[in-house]
Structures are given as C-alpha cells and as structure tokens.
Structure 1
Amino acid sequence: MKKTVIIGGGAAGMTAAIASAGAGDAVTLLEHSPQLGKKLLSTGNGRCNLTNRNQDASFYRCSEADFPEKALRQFGFKETLDFFRGLGLFFKEKEGYVYPRSSQASSVRNALLRELERRKVDLRLETKVQEIVKHGKGFKVKTTESSFASDCVILACGGMSAPTTGSDGSGYGLSAKMGHRIIEPVPALVQLHSSRTALQKAAGVRADGRISLYIMENGGRTFAGADTGEIQLTDYGISGIPVFQVSRYASRALSENKQVWAEVDFLPEYTSIETKQKLFRSIRLEKKGYDCLEVLCGLFPEKLALAFLKEAGIPFHLPAKQLDEKRAEKLCRTVTCFLVPISGTNSFSQAQVTAGGVDVRDVVPESMESKLVPGLYFAGEILDVDGICGGYNLQWAWTSGWLAGKQGRK
C-alpha cells in the first residue's frame, strides 16, 4: 500500500487526504495547529462561498497565466459540486456564488472531517514539521517528536494570510530546501493605504465607485486592473471588494518599490465622460435655488460631498447658479477621477489570501507534482496562484488538493 504524508490540514490538505485515501493510499495528515480547517470557518463571512459557477482564467492570478486553467480542466466547478454532494452537502446559489444550503462554513468543515474519519486518515494535530528528506525512492518527514516514512509528500501548508488561523509561511522554507523557487509572498484581497487628507475626512463613508489601479514602471504608467462596486473610505485609505480585487497588483508593485496610485470614479453608472460632464453643467441650470453642497448631497453622502468640494476649491455654500463652466468641469474631474496615491497595504493579518509562493513553473498543472523532485506535490495557497473574491480561492484549494491527492491517477 502506498504511503502518503500530507503537511497542512486546511481546505486543500483535507481534500488531498480524502482523494489520496480514496485511491487506496495509507494517508497521514500532519497539522501544526490544534484543529483542522480553522481558516475555512471564516470564509464567506462564516457562510463559506464554496465555489462560483462563472469560471474563467481571468479570475485567477499567477505568474504562468494558463497554469490554473490547465488544473481546472481536470477538476473544476462540476467536479467540486459532485465531490461535496458525495460528502452529503446540499447547496444554494446566488448569481453564480455557491454556498452550503445551511449557510454555515462549519457544515463544509464537518463534512470533510467526517470523510477523513471514514477514510481512516491518520490525523496528527499539533505536529510541527521540521524537514523533508529525500530517502531512496521515498521521503522521510521529520517532526519535532518523530519522523514519518512515505512514498510521496503533499505540501498544503497554506500561505501567510490570516496567520491566526495557522498560516505561518513555514511551507515556503520546506519547499525551498527541496530546490523550489519562491516568489515573494505579499498580501492580497487586502485594504490599501493612502495619506490623502480628503479621504481621511470622509472616513466611514461607503459609496459606489470604480477603482482603476496604475503602476509607474519603465518610465510610464501601466494599467494594472479595475473593478466596480461599493468602496469604503477609512482613516488609513480605501477598502471594499473592488479594492480587494486589485490589491494584489498594488502589493506586488510596492514590494518592488514602484509608485502606485488609484483613480476612483464615484459616478460609475454614468458610462461616458460626456454624460458626466453634462450632469455637472446641468447643476447650475436646474438647481438654481440650492447651494453646491446641497446639490452634491443629492448624489453622495455629505462627508464625501464636502471632500469633493474642498478638493475642487469650490466654496461649500456657493449658489449652484454661480457654478461656472470651468468650476463645473473641475468638480466633474474631481468626482470622476479622484486620485488616490497608494503607500502600502494592511498586513497579512488582514489579508484574505497570499499572492506569491512556490513558483508554478516547476510544478505539473495536471497533477501538482514537482518537476524537480518526483513524489513531491503541492496544493492550495502555498502555490503562486490566487483568485479574486467570489469563491475562487476555495475552488483553487479543492482543485489543487484533489489533483495532488490523486497524483495523476484517475
């Protein structure tokens, strides 16, 4: 009987253990914290957004753009639902987002735990791995208390995001000692910092907007990404799902000491610049009995309206009828192209996922096996693959975990 040792008991590690045991292996799962799947409990605000019906390569970020797609062809959305149905779960779906019918992440974790028990996986909690040694055709996995002989090893140690759930980055050191290159881990799906005073004065405001992120490189500005939705203004900068979606590009550029900034359009529903300009020109004609602050408060929260007027240099109580074309144009630019220099991100403790990790150029996408060390596999966040919000990072955990557990077997 083939012996498999899996290091890491998160979503990917548990899936790998179930797949490997289902293929007939004797599986030992090593987890350094006191419980399995702790991070899983906090996903989707405790509801666990399992996956998403809308699957596309653009929803995943990786140094090798087609790597996630090649893996997802082997085990994707349909296979994930089949897998969890087999564990007794029912689902509900909203606009493509798939959740357990119970709306509780604990239902998903418990289903996985039951299957691990049913498959007789040997669980070793509070077991810290110190070293992986290639031993003949197999491996010896050394821990603080003992060692485990195996025919193959699956590294599913996670990344560095949400360290209170057990993600400490230890897998990177183990991978590097086995000869693998590590792309510097940076926080992703995380809040962005800015020193803009106007933002700080509007702290606490939530407003619809479109954020476009730019990076200064090679002597010019490069567009990195954009997203639309509810943006949250904070005393340190900006937050909200649209910010999270582009944050990995900011994190990476900042780690390389590049200049980063965002432009926020707070009128994203007005699709053309001509329409936006027409709106502001109409203010002085249609709102003659109002001052500028009163007019803007019909469009935005008051704190944000005050910030816009101050930024545009327009007196708050200037009568709307006195808003000449030049001032209207400046106000339009301020509202629809609000410049936000980005100085940093929140730490890994606030990040939902890690960007970076084991370089996928040295990993076979169809099986997750190392190209450098036969019998060594990877699964989950330890790899240089991260997804946008919406169930994509968990989908990657299920996909990579299953493929690593199956090890190329059908």
Structure 2
Amino acid sequence: MAAIWAARTSAEQRIVVLDGAARLGAKILIAGGGRCNVTHYQVTADDFCGGSRNAIKKVLGRFGADATVELFAELGVRLKREETGKLFPTTNKAQTVLDALINEARRLNVSILTKRRVTRLAKNEDDAFAISGEWGEIISPRVILSTGGKSVPKTGSDGYGWELAKRLGHTLTPRLFPALVPLVASDDWRPKELSGVSLPAELLVHSATGKKLRIVTGDLLFTHRGLSGPAVLDISRHYLDAVEDDPQTQLRINWLPGTPSEALDATLQALGSASLRKLLREKLPARLADLLLELAEIDLERTGDQLDKAARRRLVRLATAMPTPIVGNRGFAVAEATAGGIPLDQIQLKTMESRVCPGLYLCGEICDVDGRIGGFNFQWAWSSGYVAGVSAGS
C-alpha cells in the first residue's frame, strides 16, 4: 500500500520494496480463513487500542473504509458485506486481494525484491539511509518501515522491524503482547471437555474489586486448550493487559448473553414443576447445559420447585458469571495482531514520518495500534500505508 501510493505520488523517484520472504503477502493469504477480511463497512477510532483515539482518528480520516472499497474496486476487486459488517472479496479468495496489490505496484514500476531481509538500517554521512543485508546494500534518502509487529512470525513479522527503528532512536511501549489470541484455561477447567462446541456468549473482564473493565459479546469456541472464537480474541488483549496491572483480574462468562443474573434467578424461581434441564437445553448446547447442572451439584432430573436457594444461586453464577481460570495464551505464533509498538507520539501523524529520525516513515502494525477482529487491523494498514506512501513520495 505504501509503495503504491509513493509511486502514484511521484513518477520521478524509484520505489523499491524489500521483503525478506520468498513470496509476498503471507498475512493477506492466511487472513479471514484464506478469504481476507479487507476491512469493515464502518470503522472508527473506537475500534482500536494502543495510541490515543484522537491520534488514530487523524490517520483513519485520511484514508477510511470507503476509500479502501473505492481503491479495490479500481483495482478490479469487488467487496461484499457480510452480516457481521466485514467486507470480503466476492471471489472469497485472499489471493485476489494480493494479486491486485502486486499488479498495481508493478504497473507503477515499483521494484519488488524478495529474499531481501534487511538486517541493518543506518544513516550515512550524507544523511541518506544505508539499507543492507546478506544480499547487498541500497542507499535511499527515504525509508518506510512496514515490517509488522510480532504476530505470526513465520510470515516474516518477527519483531525485527522494531530493532531497526530502535537503532535509529525510537523506543517501544513498555508492553508488547499478543492481541486477538486464543486463551489457555487451567487443566481442571471442566468446560474444556466441550472442545469443538461453539455458542454466543458474553465475556467480562473484572478487576479484583469486581469492577467491570471490559465486556464483549459474540461467538465463543471451546478448544482442548481453553477458549477461542471472535469474542475471545476480542477480549484477549483487554484481559492480558489488565492482568499485568492486577494478577487478581478475572475473566467471567455469561453463557446467556443479554440475560443478567437477576433475570435468570427470577426465571428459575418461577419455573415450578418444569424441568431445569429442559429450560437450559432450550437456551444452550445440550452438553453445556448438562455440565452446568453437574457443576452446580444439581440432579439432571430436578424441577424448578425442587431447587433450594443455595443450588439456585450456584447455577445462576455458573450460567451468567462463570469464573474462568486463564493460565496463559497461545502466544504470538497464532495471535492475529500485536498490542504495543512504536508510540504514536514519536510519529508525525499528518505524514507518518518519524519525529526522531527525519526521512524514516512508519506504518502498519509496527506502530502502537491494534484493532478488534473484523478487518480493522487491515484498515489501519491501508490508512497508515497510504499516508506514509503519499508523504514519502512527495
């Protein structure tokens, strides 16, 4: 994206893309289950974490979701909106997106050089950049770093871009951790027995004092390690951040989203001679319904009028605020994004040029910006890549 807009802005400069991989675009190809969730139909700064919302808003405002749709249409890629608001190529193939970008870059005479991992980036005595690796060296007056963070390092984003930026004077946020990542539950957490079962749920991050820090509602997937699915990925960065501040932070789950504990309690009290198991199975997957009754120490055949107060309270807590003993996460190897990076206050947001190293531009996940699931991280890539490309090419 940055190379395309640098080339569109300046027909006189030579634009060179250096990529350490043998093939371009690995992250595009694996995104969205191989379909590539290009963006979301509605993107605001509130969909992101990391840098200040106002700072993120400035960059998004230069090249928003509508501009992304228009650009890809111009490049021959039609996008379709799904119920979730996510926009995918009508071909349902990520390769369509990657081919369009590569073809446009080549049309603009951008030199794309693969197997060119950059291991050294420094300014020489002429105040130009010496960019080098085992493959050789290039001298350039301007450089755009778009190396990503640390998520899915096998695609090339292994954090080395941060090292290059640090050598040129940048610092990083105090915390760098996986975002949009599956969570690992303790071995004795019984719901792991339901691996493969998926359902809508409401996830809540609670402080040690009981304060609700974050609430996310969406689909959840049980795995043999713990939890995954869109809602879990979205809540993960908030839980992992909060637990760093307070190890007593809890993740609780309401298996009946939209139903507060008081409402379920009232329903159970009014159940009369009806079956508890039947009620729960109408609202939840059968295996989860039965497990909740077992964990609440309630016989599967019990009716509402046979339920004592203590048992009823146990069931209400397990169904609407189940404590989930999280012991870790799946790490950068599978995380879809990185939380943390180069702080936005080290970047001139009108241009994405470094404030500490003139001539250096930064865009994408190398910056301290991470979006929720749904195409938002791609939109940050398009927006920041556009700004960096136009500015470096001017």
- Is 1:170 paired with 2:160? yes
Q: Within 2, Cα distance between the matches of 1:319 and 1:369?
A: 67
> Is the CA contact (8 Å cut-off) linking 1:293 and 1:317 kept in structure 2?
yes
Structure 1, 198-207 or 397-406: larger mean CA deviation = 198-207
Q: Within 2, Cα distance between the matches of 1:317 and 1:286?
A: 11
- Is 1:209 paired with 2:201? yes
Tell me the equivalent position of 1:97.
86
- Is 1:359 paired with 2:333? no
Structure 1, 365-374 or 320-329: larger mean CA deviation = 320-329
Q: Within 1, Cα distance between the matches of 2:392 and 2:140?
A: 17
Any idea what SS the aligned residue of 2:101 has? helix
Q: Within 2, Cα distance between the matches of 1:221 and 1:275?
A: 20
Task: Note the C-alpha offset of 1:175.
Answer: 0.9
- Is 1:160 paired with 2:174? no
> Is the CA contact (8 Å cut-off) linking 2:341 and 2:367 kept in structure 1?
yes
Given candidates 156, 159, 182, the residue that maps to 1:191 is: 182
Tell me the equivalent position of 1:182.
172
Structure 2 matches for 1:131-146, cutoff 5 A? 131-135=120-124, 136-146=126-136
Q: Deviations over 1:20-67 (max 9, x none)?
A: 111123111100000111110111212211111212221011132322
Gaps of 5+ in 1: 1-14
Any idea what SS the aligned residue of 2:353 has? coil
Distance change (3 Å), C-alpha of 1:303 and 1:140: same
- Is 1:230 paired with 2:212? no
Structure 1, 50-59 or 146-155: larger mean CA deviation = 50-59
Given candidates 327, 332, 352, the residue that maps to 2:316 is: 332
Structure 2 matches for 1:342-353, cutoff 5 A? 342-353=326-337
Q: Deviations over 1:187-207 (max 9, x none)?
A: 111111221522223333222
> Is the CA contact (8 Å cut-off) linking 1:155 and 1:378 kept in structure 2?
yes
Given candidates 22, 38, 59, the residue that maps to 1:71 is: 59
Q: Deviations over 1:220-266 (max 9, x none)?
A: 45533211122122232221111111111223345567333211111
Q: Within 2, Cα distance between the matches of 1:221 and 1:281?
A: 26
> Is the CA contact (8 Å cut-off) linking 1:89 and 1:100 kept in structure 2?
yes
Distance change (3 Å), C-alpha of 1:107 and 1:43: same
Tell me the equivalent position of 2:282.
298
Q: Within 2, Cα distance between the matches of 1:237 and 1:224?
A: 21
State the identity %: 32
> Is the CA contact (8 Å cut-off) linking 1:260 and 1:343 kept in structure 2?
no
Of Structure 1 and Structure 2, which has the larger fraction of its residues in strand?
1
Q: Within 2, Cα distance between the matches of 1:374 and 1:55?
A: 30
Amino acid at match of 1:245: D
Any idea what SS the aligned residue of 1:66 has? helix
Tell me the equivalent position of 2:3.
17
Task: Note the C-alpha offset of 1:295.
Answer: 4.1
> Is the CA contact (8 Å cut-off) linking 1:87 and 1:115 kept in structure 2?
yes
RMSD between aligned residues: 2.0
Tell me the equivalent position of 1:150.
140
Structure 2 matches for 1:2-151, cutoff 5 A? 15-24=1-10, 25-95=13-83, 96-135=85-124, 136-151=126-141
Amino acid at match of 1:239: S
Tell me the equivalent position of 1:269.
258
Any idea what SS the aligned residue of 2:46 has? helix
Taking structure 2 as the reference length, what is the TM-score of the superposition? 0.92
Given candidates 371, 376, 379, the residue that maps to 1:395 is: 379
Task: Note the C-alpha offset of 1:185.
Answer: 2.3
Taking structure 1 as the reference length, what is the TM-score of the superposition? 0.89
Tell me the equivalent position of 1:3.
none
Distance change (3 Å), C-alpha of 1:215 and 1:281: same
Amino acid at match of 1:63: G
Show structure 1 runs of 4+ deviating over 4 A: 254-257
Task: Note the C-alpha offset of 1:91.
Answer: 1.9
Amino acid at match of 1:321: D
Distance change (3 Å), C-alpha of 1:215 and 1:173: farther
Gaps of 5+ in 2: none
Tell me the equivalent position of 1:371.
355
Amino acid at match of 2:254: D
> Is the CA contact (8 Å cut-off) linking 1:49 and 1:97 kept in structure 2?
yes
Distance change (3 Å), C-alpha of 1:222 and 1:181: farther
Q: Within 1, Cα distance between the matches of 2:212 and 2:309?
A: 30
> Is the CA contact (8 Å cut-off) linking 1:281 and 1:325 kept in structure 2?
no
Q: Within 1, Cα distance between the matches of 2:303 and 2:53?
A: 53
Distance change (3 Å), C-alpha of 1:327 and 1:396: same
Amino acid at match of 1:16: A
